[in-house]
Amino acid sequence: MRKLIILGIVLALLGAGVVVTLVGNDYRLRTRELTIPVPGGTLAAVLATPEGEPARGLVVMVHGDGPVEATHDGLYLPWFEAAGDAGFATLSWSKPGIGGSTGNWLAQSMADRASEVSQVLEWARGQSEIPAGPVVLWGASQAGWVLPKVRADAVVAVSPAINWLRQGRFNLLAELDHEKASADERARAIAVSDQTRALLQQNADYDTYRAKTTDPEPMAADRWAFVRRNYTADATADLQALKIPVHLMLGEHDRNVDIAETASTYQRLLGDRLTVRRFAAAHSMARPDVADSELLGLATAVLWPRAVFAPGVLDDYRATLRAL
């Protein structure tokens, strides 16, 4: 009898978990896969449209760093849903070489990435299934060096940096502080960073980098080429030329980007074209406890992805789009 009771409890818990997962991953939107032709290949894309009324505009997702596929393994779906609630469709594609897209994202410069977005927008204008209306660029982190280069009607910038090298140093020091590194550990890490900077400034090839670096985790060849191609990136000039509304979303617990520098630079260059919101969030707009726990982060992302995000993040995004 006791075994039957235990079995019943286990089955009930499993059933509850399945229900929670199904409900937590049920979104108010429709999605369809698209293939976008671009010079030299194709991009595997997803178009998310709102349920009910036709979309009145389009959000185009511009990814941050890393091998990101079109839905960011499902983490973009709450963003898609919030946009749909505001009457916007969302177009997102896997980076070159990821998720069915051809090419290699590590072979791109920030200018290449901006050109790719512009090519997709040009293609989208001729597609009957892509909604007309205002085009909003949503971009996170590294996308901060891409967004200001692309013509659109508005921008939502999530945790963007200003200068590549300063961002890297800020991230290094913030992580050392977070890990409570000793003085010796800090000195070694900073020395490796300084050495890498010097090799970049010398335009060292990969063999030279590998021969000289003391980094215990050296970059792979294609990553070194990517960094060497982009390490001088600075958003200042492009932001100064930007004449469209920009909504800046920043996390108070961001260890990747110096949000004080980002906020002050955007405010100085954009003036009244800028709105800013800060959240009790990590760099990804996730709740800090979720961002700092691999187990909690995975469980939340699987069971209830909307709960990954800090309070107010998705509501603010939805309201920003509704106001356009």
β-pair partners for 31: 48
> What gap in Å lies between CA 248 and CA 79, rounded to an integer?
15
pLDDT at 317 over 60: yes
β-pair partners for 277: 249
> What gap in Å lies between CA 67 and CA 95, rounded to an integer?
7
Can you give the pLDDT at residue 295? Answer: 83
Q: What's the whole-number mean pLDDT along residues 74-103?
A: 97
Angle between helices 164-178 and 183-201 (to 10 degrees): 160
Q: What's the whole-number mean pLDDT along residues 119-128?
A: 95
> What gap in Å lies between CA 5 and CA 57, rounded to an integer?
54
pLDDT at 15 over 80: no
Can you give the pLDDT at residue 303? Answer: 81
Count of CB atoms situated within 10 Å of the CB of 215: 14
Query: pLDDT tier at 1 (50, 70, 90 boundaries)?
Result: low
Q: In 3D, which of 161, 140, 155, 284 has the Cα closest to residue 233? A: 161
- What are the C-alpha distances in Å from 200 to residues 225, 228, 314? 10, 6, 38
pLDDT at 207 over 50: yes
Can you give the pLDDT at residue 2? Answer: 54
Q: Which two tokens stand for residue 91?
A: 């177009």
Q: Which CATH architecture has domain 28-160+242-322?
A: 3-Layer(aba) Sandwich (3.40)
Q: What's the whole-number mean pLDDT along residues 241-246?
A: 97
Q: Which two tokens stand for residue 161?
A: 């940096």
Q: What pTM value is reported for the model?
A: 0.90
Residue range 263-287, pLDDT digits in tens:
999 999 999 999 999 999 999 999 9
Residue range 24-47, pLDDT digits in tens:
578 999 999 999 999 999 999 999
Place of tokens 């429709």: 30
Place of tokens 């849903």: 81
Can you give the pLDDT at residue 88? Answer: 98
Can you give the pLDDT at residue 24? Answer: 53
**Domain boundaries, given as residue ranges, for the chain:** 28-160+242-322, 166-230
- In terms of phi and psi (left: phi > 0; alpha: psi -120 to 50; beta: otherwise), the region of 3 is alpha
Q: How many CA atoms lie within 13 A of 201 on its CB side?
A: 7
Q: In 3D, which of 96, 106, 109 has the Cα closest to residue 232? A: 109
Beta-carbon contacts of residue 46 (< 8 Å; ≥ 6 apart): 31, 32, 33, 34, 70, 71, 91, 92, 93
Can you give the pLDDT at residue 112? Answer: 98
Percent over 90 (pLDDT), the chain: 86
Secondary structure (3-state) at 32: strand
Contact (Cβ atoms closer than 8 angstroms) between residue 211 and residue 195: no
Q: What's the whole-number mean pLDDT along residues 169-193?
A: 98
Query: For residue 181, which phi and psi values (nearest 5 degrees)?
Result: -65, 145
Contact (Cβ atoms closer than 8 angstroms) between residue 53 and residue 68: no
Can you give the pLDDT at residue 296? Answer: 81
> What gap in Å lies between CA 60 and CA 90, rounded to an integer?
6
pLDDT at 78 over 90: yes
Q: What's the whole-number mean pLDDT along residues 124-145?
A: 95
Can you give the pLDDT at residue 298? Answer: 80
What does the mean pLDDT of the chain come to? 92
